[in-house]
C-alpha cells in the first residue's frame, strides 16, 4: 500500500486524497472502532487513488485519449497524401497528418491516443517510414526510416499495455525484429532476430512473426527475446500473422501471390487447419469468427468479403458487389465490418457492413482515394 501511495504522489488527484484523510477522518482516534473505521477509510481512498492514477509499474504511458467510434485510414487527396479519421456515418472527416507519400496500415494504440502507420508502398522493394501520430500533441513522429511492410498485414503492432511497438527493419538485406519504447521515444536494445510482421500475444508475453527461407514460416518467441519456436514450417511466402483476442489461435496468410490461403494455427499444439483461399484476415472481438477477403464465388469480381466461424462450417459472404472488396476490419463491438471497396484505380470507398440489422453503406469521402481502414478501440 505504501508503494501505491508513493508512486501516485504526482497524480493530479493526490491532493484530493489528502483532503479526504484530513477532513473526513474522525478526530477522536482513541476509540478502537474509530481506528478500524479510519483504517478502512485509508484503504478505500488508496484503492480509489490507485485505480484512478495507476502506478509506475503497471500503467500505460500517459499519451492522452483519442476519439471514439471513428475509423482511421490513409488516403490520397487533391492536396497530397495523409492520415485521416472519419465516423462510421461519414461525418467528422478530419486530416490528422499530411504526408509526402502513400499512407497505409494505421494501427491504433490500445488506449486510442496514438496511431502507428506507414508512409511508402507496402510490399515494395524499398523500406517505408514508420510513423506514430499522437492526438494529445497533434503531431506525428518517425520511429523508423527502414521499416518493412508486407502486403497482407500491418507492419507494426502495439503491446497490449501500449508501452511498446514491435516492427521489422531492413538490416543487411534481411528484415530483423525491432521494439520501440513509446514512453522513452527510443529503440530497445533487442536481441537480433530475423523476421517480419510481428504481432503480440494478448497477454503481452510472446511475439508471433514470420520468416522467409528454409527455417521460415510462422514462429513464436518470448517477448523479451530468446530462441524462436517454429510453429509452422511452410515453403513459400507467409504473411500477416494475427493473434486471436483470446490468445489460443493465430491466423496467417500463406502462399504465393494469386494463390494465398488462410491457415489457423493452435498456439499450444501447432496444429494447423486450412481455411481455403483468403487474405487480410481480421478477428472478431470474441475470437469466434474471422473476416477476410477472397476471390468472389461468382467470378464476376476480383475479391469479396467473407467470414468463417472458427469452430467450423462453410465461409459466408459478407459483401457481394461489383467492386473489388478487401482489407476488412472488425468493429470493437463486433457488429460491423469496415472494408475498402475499389471500383477502379482512381475510385475507392470505405464501406461499412452491419450485421444486426443487416445493412451496407459506403462513405462519402469527396476527393479522397482511401487505403486500409482501422477502427478506433472502444
Which carries the bigger pLDDT value, residue 287 or residue 152?
A: 287
> Per-residue pLDDT for 147 more than 80?
yes
Which carries the bigger pLDDT value, residue 300 or residue 26?
A: 300
Q: How far apart are CA 86 and CA 92, in angstroms?
A: 5
Q: Which of 24-38, 50-64, 289-303 has the largest mean confidence? A: 289-303
Regarding whether 121 and 86 lie in a shared domain, the answer is yes
Q: Give the residue carrying C-alpha cell 485509508.
A: 42
Regarding whether 95 and 213 lie in a shared domain, the answer is yes
Q: How many domains does the chain have?
A: 2
- Please provide the average confidence, as pLDDT, over all residues in the chain: 81
pLDDT value of residue 61? 42
Q: Dihedral through CA 65, CA 71, CA 77, CA 81, nearest 10?
A: 50
The stretch 121-131 carries a mean pLDDT of 80
115 inside domain = yes
List the one residue out of 175, 168, 142 whose CA is nearest residue 154.
168
Which carries the bigger pLDDT value, residue 79 or residue 242?
A: 242
Regarding whether 259 and 301 lie in a shared domain, the answer is yes
Regarding whether 103 and 36 lie in a shared domain, the answer is no
The stretch 119-125 carries a mean pLDDT of 75
CATH number, position 295 = 2.120.10.30
Least confident among 9-13, 59-63, 99-103, 284-288: 9-13
pLDDT value of residue 314? 87
Residues whose CB falls within 8 Å of the CB of residue 159, separated by 6 or more in sequence, listed in order: 165, 166, 200, 204, 223
Roughly how many angstroms between the first and final C-alpha of the chain, as a whole number? 31
For residue 8, the enclosing domain spans 2-53
> Per-residue pLDDT for 248 more than 90?
yes
Regarding whether 113 and 6 lie in a shared domain, the answer is no
Contact 319, 340 (CB under 8 A): no
> Per-residue pLDDT for 254 more than 50?
yes
118 exposure class (CB count in 10 Å sphere: 0-12, 13-18, 19+): buried
Check residue 331 and give left, alpha or beta (phi > 0: left; psi -120 to 50: alpha).
beta
pLDDT value of residue 32? 45
Q: How far apart are CA 264 and CA 209, in angstroms?
A: 14
Q: Give the residue carrying C-alpha cell 481506528.
A: 35
Q: How far apart are CA 294 and CA 303, in angstroms?
A: 5
Contact 209, 229 (CB under 8 A): no
pLDDT band at 116 (very low <50, low <70, confident <90, very high): very high
CA 267 distance to own-chain centroid: 19
Residues whose CB falls within 8 Å of the CB of residue 275, separated by 6 or more in sequence, listed in order: 251, 261, 262, 263, 264, 290, 308, 315
Cell of 86: 472519419
Q: Give the residue carrying C-alpha cell 530497445.
A: 188
203 exposure class (CB count in 10 Å sphere: 0-12, 13-18, 19+): exposed
> Per-residue pLDDT for 124 more than 90?
no
237 exposure class (CB count in 10 Å sphere: 0-12, 13-18, 19+): middle
Cis peptide before 357 (omega within 30 of 0): yes
> Per-residue pLDDT for 71 more than 90?
yes
Regarding whether 117 and 21 lie in a shared domain, the answer is no
Regarding whether 332 and 196 lie in a shared domain, the answer is yes
170 inside domain = yes
22 exposure class (CB count in 10 Å sphere: 0-12, 13-18, 19+): exposed
> Per-residue pLDDT for 2 more than 60?
no
Regarding whether 252 and 184 lie in a shared domain, the answer is yes
Q: Dihedral through CA 172, CA 174, CA 177, CA 182, nearest 10?
A: 60
> Per-residue pLDDT for 243 more than 80?
yes
349 inside domain = yes
DSSP state of 133: E
pLDDT digit string, tens, across residues 311-359? 888 899 888 777 889 999 999 999 999 999 998 878 899 999 999 888 8
Cell of 75: 488516403
CA 345 distance to own-chain centroid: 27
The stretch 16-23 carries a mean pLDDT of 32
Residues whose CB falls within 8 Å of the CB of residue 337, separated by 6 or more in sequence, listed in order: 282, 291, 305, 307, 318, 328, 329, 330, 331, 352, 353, 355
146 inside domain = yes
Contact 136, 64 (CB under 8 A): yes
297 inside domain = yes
Using DSSP, state whether 51 is helix, strand or coil: helix
Q: Which helix (H) or strand (E) holds 47?
A: helix 32-53
62 inside domain = no
- Partnered with residue 116 across adjacent β-strands are 107, 132
Regarding whether 156 and 106 lie in a shared domain, the answer is yes
- Partnered with residue 262 across adjacent β-strands are 253, 276
> Per-residue pLDDT for 10 more than 90?
no
Regarding whether 120 and 31 lie in a shared domain, the answer is no
Regarding whether 248 and 134 lie in a shared domain, the answer is yes
Q: How far apart are CA 41 and CA 73, in angstroms?
A: 48
281 inside domain = yes
103 inside domain = yes
Regarding whether 104 and 243 lie in a shared domain, the answer is yes
Amino acid at each position: 500500500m505504501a508503494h501505491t501511495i508513493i508512486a501516485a504522489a504526482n497524480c493530479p488527484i493526490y491532493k484530493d486524497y489528502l483532503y479526504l484523510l484530513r477532513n473526513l477522518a474522525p478526530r477522536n482516534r482513541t476509540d478502537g472502532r474509530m481506528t478500524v473505521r479510519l483504517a478502512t477509510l485509508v484503504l478505500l481512498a488508496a484503492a480509489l487513488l490507485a485505480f484512478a492514477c495507476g502506478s509506475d509499474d503497471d500503467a500505460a504511458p500517459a499519451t492522452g485519449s483519442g476519439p471514439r467510434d471513428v475509423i482511421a485510414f490513409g488516403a490520397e487527396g487533391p492536396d497530397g497524401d495523409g492520415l485521416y479519421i472519419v465516423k462510421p456515418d461519414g461525418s467528422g472527416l478530419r486530416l490528422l497528418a499530411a504526408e509526402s507519400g502513400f499512407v497505409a496500415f494505421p494501427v491504433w494504440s490500445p488506449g486510442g491516443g496514438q496511431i502507428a502507420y506507414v508512409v511508402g508502398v507496402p510490399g515494395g522493394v524499398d523500406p517505408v517510414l514508420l510513423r506514430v501520430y499522437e492526438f494529445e500533441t497533434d503531431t506525428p513522429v518517425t520511429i523508423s526510416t527502414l521499416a518493412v511492410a508486407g502486403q497482407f498485414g500491418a507492419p507494426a503492432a502495439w503491446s497490449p499495455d501500449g508501452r511498446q511497438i514491435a516492427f521489422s527493419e531492413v538490416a543487411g538485406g534481411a528484415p530483423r525484429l525491432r521494439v520501440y519504447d513509446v514512453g522513452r521515444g527510443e529503440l530497445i536494445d533487442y536481441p537480433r532476430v530475423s523476421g517480419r510482421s510481428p504481432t503480440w500475444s494478448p497477454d503481452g508475453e510472446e511475439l508471433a512473426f514470420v520468416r522467409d527461407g528454409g527455417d521460415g514460416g510462422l514462429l513464436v518467441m518470448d517477448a523479451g527475446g530468446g530462441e524462436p519456436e517454429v510453429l509452422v514450417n511452410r515453403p513459400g511466402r507467409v504473411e500477416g500473422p494475427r493473434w486471436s483476442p483470446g490468445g489460443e489461435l493465430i491466423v496467417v496468410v500463406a502462399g504465393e501471390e494469386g494463390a494465398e490461403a488462410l491457415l489457423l494455427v493452435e498456439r499450444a499444439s501447432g496444429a494447423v487447419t486450412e481455411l481455403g483461399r483468403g487474405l487480410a484476415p481480421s478477428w472478431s472481438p470474441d475470437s469466434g469468427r474471422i473476416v477476410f477477403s477472397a476471390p468472389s464465388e461468382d467470378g464476376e469480381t476480383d475479391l469479396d468479403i467473407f467470414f468463417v466461424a472458427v469452430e467450423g462450417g462453410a465461409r459466408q459472404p459478407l459483401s457481394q458487389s461489383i467492386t473489388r472488396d478487401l482489407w476488412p476490419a472488425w468493429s470493437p463491438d463486433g457488429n460491423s465490418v469496415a472494408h475498402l471497396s475499389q471500383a477502379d484505380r482512381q475510385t475507392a470507398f470505405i464501406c461499412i457492413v452491419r450485421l444486426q440489422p443487416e445493412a451496407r453503406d459506403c462513405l462519402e469521402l469527396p476527393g479522397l482515394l482511401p487505403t486500409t481502414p482501422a477502427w478506433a478501440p472502444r
